Structure 1
Amino acid sequence: MSLQPTLTVYEALDSATVNGQSIKEMFAPYAEFGVTVTVTTVNNELPQGSLATTDFVSILIPGSSGKTSGGTTRTLGVVGRNGAIGARPARIGMVSDADGAIGAIAVGLKLAQMKARGDHLPGDVLATTHLSTDAPMSLNDGIPFMGMPVSSATMNTYEVSPEMDAILSLDASKGNSIIKQRGFAISPTAMQGYILRVSPDLVKIMESTTGKPAVTWPISQQDITPYDNGLYHFNSIMQPHVATSAPVVGVALTARSVVGGNDSSANHEIDIAEAVRFCVEVAKRFTVAAPGYSCEFYNTVEWQKIRAVYPDLTVFQGNGVQAS
Structure 2
Amino acid sequence: MPLQKTLLALEALDSAYVNGESVKQLFGAYPRVTVDVMTVQGEKGSTDFVKVVVPGSEGKRSGGQAPTMGIVGRLGGIGARPSRIGLVSDADGAVAAIAAALKLADMQTKGDTMKGDVIVTTHICPDAPTLPHEPVDFMDSPVDILQMNEHEVLPEMEAILSIDTTKGNRVINHKGIAISPTVKEGYILRVSEDLLRIMEMTTGQLPVTFPVTMQDITPYGNDLYHINSILQPAVATHAPVVGVAVTAQSAVPGCGTGASHEVDIASAVRFAVETAKEFTAGICSFYNESEYDRILGLYGSMRVLQTAGAQTTPAV
TM-score with structure 1 length normalisation?
0.95
Q: Return the alpha-carbon distance in structure 1 between the equivalents of residues 262 and 160 of structure 2.
A: 23
- 2:75 is aligned to 82
- 1:237 is aligned to 230
Farther-moved stretch of structure 1 (303-312 vs 17-26): 303-312
User: In the TM superposition, what whole-angstrom CA distance separates every residue of 1:9-28 from its partner, at most 9, and x where no partner exists?
Assistant: 00000000000101111101
Q: Return the alpha-carbon distance in structure 2 between the equivalents of residues 95 and 322 of structure 1.
A: 35
Q: Return the alpha-carbon distance in structure 2 between the equivalents of residues 144 and 221 of structure 1.
A: 22
The answer on 1:5 being equivalent to 2:8 is no
Q: What displacement does 1:322 show?
A: 1.6
Q: Return the alpha-carbon distance in structure 1 between the equivalents of residues 43 and 99 of structure 2.
A: 27
- Equivalent residues of 2:46, 2:143 under 8 A apart: no
SS of the aligned residue for 1:185 comes to strand
Amino acid in structure 2 at the alignment position of 1:129: T
- Equivalent residues of 2:135, 2:251 under 8 A apart: no
Q: What displacement does 1:139 show?
A: 1.3
Q: What displacement does 1:44 show?
A: 2.4
User: In the TM superposition, what whole-angstrom CA distance separates every residue of 1:133-165 from its partner, at most 9, and x where no partner exists?
Assistant: 111111111411111111011000000000000
- 2:24 is aligned to 24
- 2:15 is aligned to 15
Q: Return the alpha-carbon distance in structure 2 between the equivalents of residues 142 and 112 of structure 1.
A: 38
- 1:210 is aligned to 203
Amino acid in structure 2 at the alignment position of 1:35: V
TM-score with structure 2 length normalisation?
0.98
User: In the TM superposition, what whole-angstrom CA distance separates every residue of 1:292-314 from its partner, at most 9, and x where no partner exists?
Assistant: xx110000111111111111110
Q: Number of residues paired by the alignment? A: 313
- 2:100 is aligned to 107
- 1:141 is aligned to 134
Q: Return the alpha-carbon distance in structure 1 between the equivalents of residues 275 and 142 of structure 2.
A: 31
Q: CA RMSD in A?
A: 0.8
Alignment match of 1:156 (pick from 149, 157, 161):
149
Q: Return the alpha-carbon distance in structure 1 between the equivalents of residues 299 and 14 of structure 2.
A: 48
Q: Return the alpha-carbon distance in structure 1 between the equivalents of residues 281 and 312 of structure 2.
A: 47
Question: Which residues of structure 1 form unaligned runs of 5+?
Answer: 47-51
Q: What displacement does 1:247 show?
A: 0.2
Q: What displacement does 1:6 show?
A: 0.5
Question: Which residues of structure 2 form unaligned runs of 5+?
Answer: none
Amino acid in structure 2 at the alignment position of 1:25: Q
- 1:313 is aligned to 302
SS of the aligned residue for 2:93 comes to helix
Q: Return the alpha-carbon distance in structure 1 between the equivalents of residues 189 and 104 of structure 2.
A: 29
Q: Return the alpha-carbon distance in structure 2 between the equivalents of residues 132 and 45 of structure 1.
A: 14
- 1:165 is aligned to 158
Q: Return the alpha-carbon distance in structure 2 between the equivalents of residues 80 and 28 of structure 1.
A: 21
Q: What displacement does 1:220 show?
A: 0.4
- 1:49 is aligned to none
Amino acid in structure 1 at the alignment position of 2:268: A
- 1:41 is aligned to 39
Amino acid in structure 2 at the alignment position of 1:276: V
Q: Return the alpha-carbon distance in structure 2 between the equivalents of residues 45 and 132 of structure 1.
A: 14
Q: Return the alpha-carbon distance in structure 2 between the equivalents of residues 126 and 71 of structure 1.
A: 16
Amino acid in structure 2 at the alignment position of 1:247: P
Amino acid in structure 1 at the alignment position of 2:153: V
Amino acid in structure 1 at the alignment position of 2:224: L
Give me the identity figure in percent. 57
- 1:224 is aligned to 217
Q: What displacement does 1:244 show?
A: 0.1
Amino acid in structure 2 at the alignment position of 1:109: L
